């Protein structure tokens, strides 16, 4: 979306600001933000972006490249509403006012309880403000951070691999490999896209997973999810998790909403739940699942080892309804991507991949 009050130069500057924002860290508690400062004549006189927690915000970074007074009468074009709170750094709204900026154009409103309000503060100081410029593009770019900021928890994807009859293991407990190589490659690629990968202690004790993202040769991919283990049973000292590039986060799982909030405070924006039927069922029953990835193999197993346990559904009318977002063929297997139905919300497409890095343990 392009706001009606924005000029062509401001729209171009916003596209550049989004490019600058991409230089910032994609993970952590802070958003990736870019800023372009235009002279009163419309020329670019400074650019900046946020480099991570504790560093200058994009607006201040851009202003720092100008001599005192050079920003007077200028326009600041920024991907996120300038903040209005004092944290590790000062309020960006105040920095822009003090620099003499005459106009601020931004894409997405800041959803933070403490950091929002920058636009109102700017207007109160006599600064012209235009909101919503390239809002759709900025929303997509900041999707994971905005989700965590708006909900107070990470985006949760639950994944399982099963037979066509919904079994995740044979009677003896064996499950390697229900799906084929192409499906397993896809899982590892998606693991690398997530901030964290979660299992229960039962899976750790039974399977001793490494919870890493690996390529076809078994080598670690550049981006690794933080391992999260839910449950009260201790993780054995010699578990393969000990060799993971990141220290495991241990949570009780007794209050999943509180546990997810704790992960969000650590800067974890997305969680990939792979932890077996018990953990998947717990997340589904708690209404804390945002996306389902179901890898279906053309095999029949039978028996009791179902992908999902009791969800407390007494009648078909009470079934958990899903939006089917996509179906992909991966070798001989199918990947079904679905989202829980949320009343009043338009159907969503599958979550887009935002990087290009690539069932197994």
Tell me how far CA of residue 297 lies from CA of 160, 170, 324, in angstroms: 11, 13, 18
Contact call for residues 104 and 76 (beta carbons, < 8 A): yes
> Could you give the CA distance from residue 205 to residue 203 in angstroms, rounded to a whole number?
5
Q: Is 304 exposed, middle or buried (0-12, 13-18, 19+ CB in 10 A)?
A: exposed
How many Cα atoms sit within 13 Å of 104 on the Cβ side?
33
Q: Are 126 and 104 in contact (CB under 8 A)?
A: no
Tokens of 341: 């139905």
Residue ranges of E strands in the chain? 34-38, 44-49, 75-80, 103-108, 128-130, 155-163, 196-200, 226-230, 249-251, 270-275, 291-297, 322-330, 333-340
Q: Which of 10, 19, 41, 59 is catalytic?
A: 59
Residue with tokens 């006599």: 126
Q: Is 197 exposed, middle or buried (0-12, 13-18, 19+ CB in 10 A)?
A: buried
| Token pair for 256 | 């999943």
Between strands 322-330 and 333-340, the pairing is antiparallel
Q: How far apart are the C-alpha atoms of 325 and 66, rounded to whole Å?
A: 47
Handedness of CA 281, 303, 165, 206 (dihedral sign): positive
Concerning whether 59 is annotated as a catalytic residue, the answer is: yes
DSSP state of 220: B
Catalytic positions are 59
């Amino acid at each position: 979306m392009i706001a009606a009050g924005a000029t062509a130069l401001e729209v171009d500057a916003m596209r550049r600001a989004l490019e600058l924002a991409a230089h910032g860290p994609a993970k952590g508690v802070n958003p990736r933000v870019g800023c372009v400062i235009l002279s009163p004549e419309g020329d670019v006189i400074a650019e900046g972006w946020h480099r991570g927690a504790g560093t200058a915000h994009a607006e201040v970074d851009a202003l720092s490249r100008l001599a005192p007074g050079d920003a007077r009468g200028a326009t600041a074009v920024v991907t996120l509403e300038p903040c209005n709170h004092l944290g590790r750094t000062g309020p960006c709204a105040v920095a822009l006012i003090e620099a003499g900026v005459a106009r601020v154009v931004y894409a997405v409103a800041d959803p933070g309880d403490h950091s929002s309000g920058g636009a109102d503060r700017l207007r109160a100081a006599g600064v012209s403000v235009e909101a919503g410029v390239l809002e759709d593009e900025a929303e997509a770019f900041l999707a994971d951070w905005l989700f965590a900021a708006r909900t107070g928890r990470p985006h949760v994807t639950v994944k399982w691999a099963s037979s066509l009859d919904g079994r995740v293991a044979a009677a003896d407990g064996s499950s390697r490999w229900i799906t084929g190589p192409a499906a397993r490659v896809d899982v590892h690629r998606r693991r690398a896209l997530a901030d964290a990968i979660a299992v229960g202690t039962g899976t750790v004790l039974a399977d001793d997973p490494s919870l890493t993202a690996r390529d076809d040769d078994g080598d670690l991919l550049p981006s690794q999810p933080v391992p999260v283990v839910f449950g009260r049973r201790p993780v054995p000292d010699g578990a393969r998790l000990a060799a993971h590039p990141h220290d495991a986060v241990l949570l009780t799982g007794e209050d999943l909403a509180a546990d997810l909030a704790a992960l969000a405070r650590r800067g974890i924006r997305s969680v990939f739940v792979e932890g077996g039927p018990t953990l998947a069922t717990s997340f589904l029953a708690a209404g804390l699942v945002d996306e389902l990835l179901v890898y279906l193999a053309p095999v029949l197993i039978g028996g009791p080892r179902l992908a999902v346990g009791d969800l407390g559904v007494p009648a078909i009318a009470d079934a958990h309804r899903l939006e089917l977002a996509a179906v992909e063929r991966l070798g001989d297997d199918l990947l079904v991507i679905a989202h829980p139905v949320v009343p009043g919300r338009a159907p969503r497409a599958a979550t887009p991949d935002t990087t290009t890095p690539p069932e197994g343990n």
